[in-house]
Amino acid sequence: MTEPLSHPENRKHAPHVRRHGIKQFINIYNQNKDRIDRCFKWGDEIEYVIVRFDHNNKKVRLSLRPKDILEVMDEREAREGPKCEVLWRPEYGSFHIEATPGQPYGHQNEMNGKKSMNCWFNNVENNMKERRRDIKHLLGPDEALLCLGNFPRLGCDDISVPYSSPDPLNSSTGSIFVSDVLTNSAHPRYIKTGYNIVQRREKKITINIPIFKDTKTPDPFIELFNDKESNREAKVDHIYLDAPVLGMGCSCLQVTMQATNIEEAFVLNDQLLPLTPIMTALSAATPIFRGYLSDYDCRLEASSASMDDRTPEERGEKPLKHDKFRIHKSRCAPLNTYLCECNARYNDNPIVYNTEFYDEMISAGVTLSLAQHMAYVFIRDPTVTYWEKLDQNDSTETDHFENIQSTNWQTMRFKPPPLNQQSIGWRVEFRPMEIQMTDFENAAFSVFTILLSRIVLKYKLNFIIPISKIDQNMSTAVKRDAVNRSKFWFRKDIFAQNTLQDVNNNTNSSKTNYERYESEEESYIEMSINEIMNGYGNEFPGLIPLIRDYVKDLSLDAQTYNKVQQYIQLIADRASAKVKTTAKWIRDFVRKHADYKHDSVVNEKITYDLLNTLNRIQNEGINVNEFV
């Protein structure tokens, strides 16, 4: 078993890990900067929870069986390798399990040299269904695999089998709500991550999610805990949480796509970034935390705060003395940088970065924006380091790079190819979406994301607005019913290009950065998601009509075409409020429940009925519309 460094050692060796991580990145960059991957491949990741129903007592709890299940699945994968249709992976919670397709979609094209999109459209939802069949024989009679943004009562008493209870004095996180047992123990990295984060920030995790004020919710809403730090940190009118697993325990839907070359990966990174808040709002699915209805519909705030390892100096609570940087965001946060040089002037957030690493990357030929992005990613400490991996050969190994890269949980991730892997090129991962209730919806959001990426490339669309505006949009997107109640900054003319020419002109002109922004303010306005997606009048074409045009030209067979149209229609209907988001569906289910007292409390019985209904919808094929 790999042996992690103790906390002080982890911090002591952080500069070593960073220094070598950057050298490893430079090596990856130089080996791959000219590579071309003509075959378009992509894949989704879904995080599931396993629950166990106690039908006699009308209770449902998290089942901590994924560890055993993964042992079986890992053995099978070792035996059958690329023949597996589904790959199962561990996740942060001990009740969590992640699945991806056995091979990325589109890989068949690579094998038979075709370029057709036809073959994979149907595979997505089929693979999601296959995952449920695949795991079925390993589940007990009362257990179920569920797509669920957050277990509604995570952090309340008696929510796991076996039973677990918080142990603030002896646990790795000091949490008054959850035991370490709820964090994955199959590998030391998960518990150690939480422990190191808490040590580094010099206090417990603090998460405050605004509570949904229903007619009988106490006003003000104040909870008193048997713990001084908690009482100090808990905000009035908020649901207070204090452990990594209470944020990382949320589940999400991710999509990774391969680009033809590094430049195309930059374009996809940049053009999909302004869409992250829009897709968060459309996919909202997480309206309950620790047994209370919240005024947010999404997990982002909880996961971001749950992995915030910044020290008091880095957070700006104390003047800088021991630490190098004042850092404005958690390592789990909206992406901070555009990567195309022509978009660099829209990087208007403060970017603190390691200038030594930056200079080293520039001397090695890395492009300016990518160097700045990586030098920003590499201001963080590794969350966990292992003794056996400390000494590495930077020209053949990449663990130090991956260590820091993969623990920067931003809303998008620019993924370089792994060393010496023919089949994996430059990729971009789209990470802002919430998990949907059904395979149909998860497939719809995955396919829709891919279609967005295709129209960006085909029609050379331009969604770029200042990064600070995207952050502002994200703060809006997570709020209750944001999809239909809020407006979002969006680019007015999505066909006008940003060119390097403009940048050069601007640089040569006597205007200050600020004045340049002033003149660019004309280029974006506030729109509703309905307007952005479905368009309005002659003013704005809407992304969905563009996608429909694109799909028409794909010459899909009739059945596939109809399926894709259903996916697109779901997004169109969410945007126009014709169909509820998952969050709204869950919220309405709770508020209509006979046991709900309009005090924001989601009790055990409501949770049981909600999850039982979700199970029937997801695993027994009951139509979701029966419950609307």
Q: Interface with ligand ADP by CB under 6 A: which residues?
A: 41-45, 89, 100-101, 104, 254, 256-258, 406, 423-424, 427, 429
To the nearest whole angstrom, how small is the minimum distance from the Cβ of residue 279 to ligand ADP? 17
C-beta closer to ligand ADP: residue 427 or 580: 427
C-beta closer to ligand ADP: residue 56 or 421: 421
Show contacts with Mg ion in window 186-245 (CB under 5 A). none
- Give the residue from 316, 482, 449 showing the smallest Cα distance to 45: 449
Three-state DSSP class for 379?
Answer: coil
To the nearest whole angstrom, how small is the minimum distance from the Cβ of residue 205 to ligand ADP? 22
C-beta closer to ligand ADP: residue 256 or 311: 256
Three-state DSSP class for 595?
Answer: coil
Region near Mg ion per CB under 5 A, out of 44-52, 148-156, 550-558, 560-568: 44-52
The entry of Mg ion, ligand ADP, none that residue 14 binds, CB within 5 to 8 Å by partner kind? none
C-beta closer to ligand ADP: residue 123 or 576: 123
The entry of ligand ADP, Mg ion, none that residue 304 binds, CB within 5 to 8 Å by partner kind? none
The entry of ligand ADP, Mg ion, none that residue 77 binds, CB within 5 to 8 Å by partner kind? none
- Calpha distance 491→274 (Å, rounded): 9
Geometric angle at alpha carbon 43, from 41 and 45, rounded to 5°: 165
To the nearest whole angstrom, how small is the minimum distance from the Cβ of residue 276 to ligand ADP? 16
The entry of ligand ADP, Mg ion, none that residue 424 binds, CB within 5 to 8 Å by partner kind? ligand ADP
The entry of Mg ion, ligand ADP, none that residue 373 binds, CB within 5 to 8 Å by partner kind? none
Residue 404 contacts residue 21 (beta carbons within 8 Å): yes
To the nearest whole angstrom, how small is the minimum distance from the Cβ of residue 98 to ligand ADP? 6
To the nearest whole angstrom, how small is the minimum distance from the Cβ of residue 98 to Mg ion? 5
Residue ranges of alpha helices (H) inside 62-187 are 66-80, 107-112, 118-136
To the nearest whole angstrom, how small is the minimum distance from the Cβ of residue 593 to ligand ADP? 36
C-beta closer to ligand ADP: residue 43 or 168: 43
- Calpha distance 307→194 (Å, rounded): 8
Write the interaction track for Mg ion spanning residues 82-101; mark x where CB under 5 A is met and - where it is not.
Answer: ----------------x---
C-beta closer to ligand ADP: residue 175 or 276: 276
Region near Mg ion per CB under 5 A, out of 41-49, 229-237, 315-323, 588-596: 41-49
| Locus of tokens 């089949």 | 423
To the nearest whole angstrom, how small is the minimum distance from the Cβ of residue 298 to ligand ADP? 19
Residue 176 contacts residue 230 (beta carbons within 8 Å): yes
C-beta closer to ligand ADP: residue 40 or 490: 40
| Locus of tokens 């944020």 | 247
Query: Residue 260's CB: how many other CB atoms inside 10 A?
Result: 17
> What interhelical angle do 558-575 and 439-459 show, nearest 10?
90
C-beta closer to ligand ADP: residue 367 or 408: 408
Show contacts with Mg ion in window 373-392 (CB under 5 A). none
To the nearest whole angstrom, how small is the minimum distance from the Cβ of residue 255 to ligand ADP? 7
Three-state DSSP class for 369?
Answer: helix
Residue 52 contacts residue 161 (beta carbons within 8 Å): yes
To the nearest whole angstrom, how small is the minimum distance from the Cβ of residue 20 to ligand ADP? 20
- Calpha distance 129→336 (Å, rounded): 35
| Locus of tokens 């995207």 | 470
- Calpha distance 490→584 (Å, rounded): 24
To the nearest whole angstrom, how small is the minimum distance from the Cβ of residue 228 to ligand ADP? 38
C-beta closer to Mg ion: residue 254 or 336: 254
Residue 45 binds Mg ion (CB under 5 A): yes
C-beta closer to Mg ion: residue 45 or 434: 45
- Give the residue from 337, 362, 360 showing the smallest Cα distance to 350: 337
* CA atoms within 13 A of residue 4's CA, in its CB half-sphere: 20
C-beta closer to ligand ADP: residue 124 or 437: 124
C-beta closer to Mg ion: residue 249 or 274: 249
- Calpha distance 540→533 (Å, rounded): 10
To the nearest whole angstrom, how small is the minimum distance from the Cβ of residue 103 to ligand ADP? 7
| Structure tokens, 591 | 């508020």
C-beta closer to ligand ADP: residue 126 or 513: 126
H/E stretch holding 293 reads strand 292-293
| Cα–Cα distance list, 207 to 50, 230, 244, 305, 336 (Å) | 24, 10, 9, 6, 22
The entry of ligand ADP, Mg ion, none that residue 584 binds, CB within 5 to 8 Å by partner kind? none
- Calpha distance 362→412 (Å, rounded): 23
Three-state DSSP class for 225?
Answer: coil
CA 106 and chain centroid, separation:
23
| Structure tokens, 498 | 């940003």
C-beta closer to ligand ADP: residue 429 or 434: 429
Position of minimal CB gap to ligand ADP: 43
To the nearest whole angstrom, how small is the minimum distance from the Cβ of residue 272 to Mg ion? 15
Position of minimal CB gap to Mg ion: 254
Region near Mg ion per CB under 5 A, out of 108-116, 246-254, 310-318, 579-587: 246-254
The entry of Mg ion, ligand ADP, none that residue 257 binds, CB within 5 to 8 Å by partner kind? ligand ADP
Q: b vs e for 138-147, b when ≥16 Cβ sit within 10 Å of the residue's Cβ? A: bbeeebbbbb
Residue 279 contacts residue 446 (beta carbons within 8 Å): no
To the nearest whole angstrom, how small is the minimum distance from the Cβ of residue 428 to ligand ADP? 9
Q: Binding residue for Mg ion (CB under 5 A) from 94, 251, 254, 304? A: 254
* CA atoms within 13 A of residue 140's CA, in its CB half-sphere: 14
The entry of Mg ion, ligand ADP, none that residue 41 binds, CB within 5 to 8 Å by partner kind? ligand ADP
Residue 281 contacts residue 529 (beta carbons within 8 Å): yes
To the nearest whole angstrom, how small is the minimum distance from the Cβ of residue 69 to ligand ADP? 17
Q: What's the burial of 226, exposed, middle or buried (CB within 10 Å: 0-12/13-18/19+)? A: exposed
Region near Mg ion per CB under 5 A, out of 42-50, 77-85, 333-341, 352-360: 42-50
- Give the residue from 431, 114, 106 showing the smallest Cα distance to 279: 431
The entry of Mg ion, ligand ADP, none that residue 362 binds, CB within 5 to 8 Å by partner kind? none
Write out the residues near Mg ion by the rule CB under 5 A.
45, 98, 254
